[in-house]
Amino acid sequence: MLFIKLFLSFIKIGFTSFGGISMIPLITDEMLSNGWMTTEEINDIVAIAEMTPGPLGLNCATYAGLKTAGFAGAVVANLGALMPAFTLCVAAAIFFEKFKKSHRMQQILSGVRPAAIGMVAGVIVSLSLSNYFADSSLDLKGVVIGAAMLPLLLKFKVSVPKVIGLSAALGLLLYGIL
């Protein structure tokens, strides 16, 4: 019964939130209303989920499930948290497969593609501004790191995790942390 309640709680959280920080109040409410955790333990969930790599919602689900019902609880909570995204992806795939040859679908995709490119460009500009400008002045060390990594990605096809590791090491050296 505990596993079913845990699964249903995280399905509800997944369907009624938009991931990330928006999940925290819902997780808090579910954990407290079911008596599975204290407020202090929920604060620990958020702290641990923020420190670990991966999506905040899944990290919270893992920790909450583990704390509530052990390893099996972590699996069940994650399945519940993933179910909304999985359901929507399957529905989208079925919809796309059914209508992919439709003239109307081609028109829609013709409009979606430029919008998606614009959104990616917006993220690039936003991240560039926050990464390369500190206190309204150009951060030359950040520019050096970015300029050094760009050819590794584009010309030499070095994997993204290696570039991230190299960027971190170079950042530690250039910013005098080591």
In sign, the C-alpha dihedral spanning 92, 95, 97, 100 is negative
Domain co-membership, 122 together with 148: no
Instruction: Give the pLDDT score at 49.
Output: 83
Domain co-membership, 83 together with 45: yes
pLDDT averages per 10-residue partition of the chain, 178 residues? 94 84 87 91 85 85 91 95 92 91 90 93 88 87 94 95 93 88
Domain co-membership, 47 together with 82: yes
Structural domain count, the chain: 3
Instruction: Report how far Cα 36 is from the mean position of its chain's Cα atoms.
Output: 25
Per the rule left: phi > 0, alpha: psi between -120 and 50, beta: everything else, 19 is: left
Instruction: Give the pLDDT score at 178.
Output: 67
- d(C-alpha 72, C-alpha 69), whole Å: 7
pTM, full prediction: 0.59
**Residue 53: both structure tokens together:** 């790599």
Instruction: Give the pLDDT score at 77.
Output: 94
Question: Which range marks the domain in which residue 108 is found?
Answer: 104-132
- d(C-alpha 169, C-alpha 53), whole Å: 18
